[in-house]
């Protein structure tokens, strides 16, 4: 059966899901997106994703065409229509399609809202057991990375460099410090068992999985420091890992070809992954 997408009020076969060539998301990357994981047919930590959606659209003065409650209803309907058990729901909202290509905000234009689903076995992913290699690249993005913008060209180039190097992710570097991954948050575990991840700010996206993992660690009296760290510090660490909605918690076993810790996902990484999966299953809606 062909997958079903949602486009501006209608559920349509994915192959027929279309927006105007004048849509500002296409012309200017004038839009915001979110990705929510699905486990056992339910949305994971979705309230956090929808809160971030509201914040991001507010930062660029883009009004949602539907209420947050209605957006969640559509997400759930797509999960049901696509018989999705494990995977994700992608959501994008743009400022809509005007009659021309003017940079300034158009007047009287309804925002575009599209959603679709994809299957993915996040819990059973082989890379969760083996870990991934990462490479480092310069962070060439704009200065408002806290906004989940659809303008992802820098991340595309970073992820392509990783793919060509046979790596699973790219860590972006600015002023000698790691900002984040191309589509993930970066963490290390120091030799004295402190979990370190960069503090939220305009330099990084406030990751929903990052937020949950930090909270779950602190609930268990694990030590967490929110600060920047260098690649040298990461290579000297016991463990390194990434978090995101589509990998949960995943070990990093090498950086630029140099082994991290034992060269395998470490016990803290495995523990945090187990804790997060339990949290995801218990709170999914």
120, 148, 258, 264: the catalytic one is 148
Instruction: Output the CA torsion sign for 150, 152, 156, 159.
Output: negative
Q: Are strands 31-39 and 87-94 parallel, antiparallel or unpaired?
A: antiparallel
For every residue of 84-134, DSSP letters joined together read -SSEEEEEEEE--B-SS--SSPPSS-PPEEEEEEEE--STT-THHHH-EEE
Q: Is 148 annotated in the active site? A: yes
133 close to 163: Cβ distance less than 8 angstroms = no
Give 136's strand partners: 171
4 close to 78: Cβ distance less than 8 angstroms = yes
* Angle at which helices 208-219 and 46-59 cross, to 10°: 130
Round to whole Å and give the CA distance between 243 and 281: 16
Q: How many CA atoms lie within 13 A of 80 on its CB side?
A: 8
Q: Cα 98 to chain center, whole Å?
A: 29
Q: Are strands 194-197 and 223-226 parallel, antiparallel or unpaired?
A: parallel
Give 240's strand partners: 188, 252
Q: Which single residue is written with the structure tokens 């012309």?
A: 27
Known catalytic residues? 148
């Amino acid at each position: 059966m062909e997958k079903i997408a949602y486009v501006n009020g209608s559920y349509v076969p994915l192959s027929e899901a279309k927006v105007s060539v004048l849509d500002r998301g296409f012309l200017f990357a004038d839009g915001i997106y979110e990705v929510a994981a699905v486990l056992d047919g339910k949305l994971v930590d979705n309230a956090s994703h929808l809160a971030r959606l509201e914040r991001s659209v507010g930062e660029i003065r883009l009004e949602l065409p539907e209420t947050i409650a209605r957006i969640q209803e559509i997400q759930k309907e797509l999960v049901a229509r696509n018989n999705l058990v494990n995977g994700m729901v992608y959501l994008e909202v743009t400022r809509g399609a005007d009659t021309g290509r003017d940079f300034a905000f158009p007047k009287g234009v309804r925002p575009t809202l599209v959603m679709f689903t994809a299957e993915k076995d996040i819990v059973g992913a082989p890379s969760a057991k083996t870990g991934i290699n990462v490479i480092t690249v310069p962070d060439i993005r704009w200065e408002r990375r806290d906004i989940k913008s659809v303008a992802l060209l820098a991340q595309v180039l970073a992820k392509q460099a990783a793919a060509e190097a046979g790596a699973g992710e790219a860590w972006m570097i600015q002023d000698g410090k790691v900002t984040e991954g191309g589509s993930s948050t970066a963490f290390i575990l120091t030799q004295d068992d402190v979990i370190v991840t960069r503090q939220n700010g305009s330099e990084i996206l406030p990751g929903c999985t990052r937020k949950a993992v930090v909270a779950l660690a602190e609930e268990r009296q694990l030590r967490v420091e929110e600060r920047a760290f260098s690649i040298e510090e990461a290579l000297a660490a016991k463990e390194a890992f990434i978090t995101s909605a589509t990998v949960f918690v995943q070990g990093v076993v090498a950086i630029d070809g140099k082994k991290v810790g034992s060269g395998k996902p470490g016990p803290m990484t495995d523990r945090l992954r187990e804790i997060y999966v339990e949290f995801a299953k218990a709170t999914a809606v």
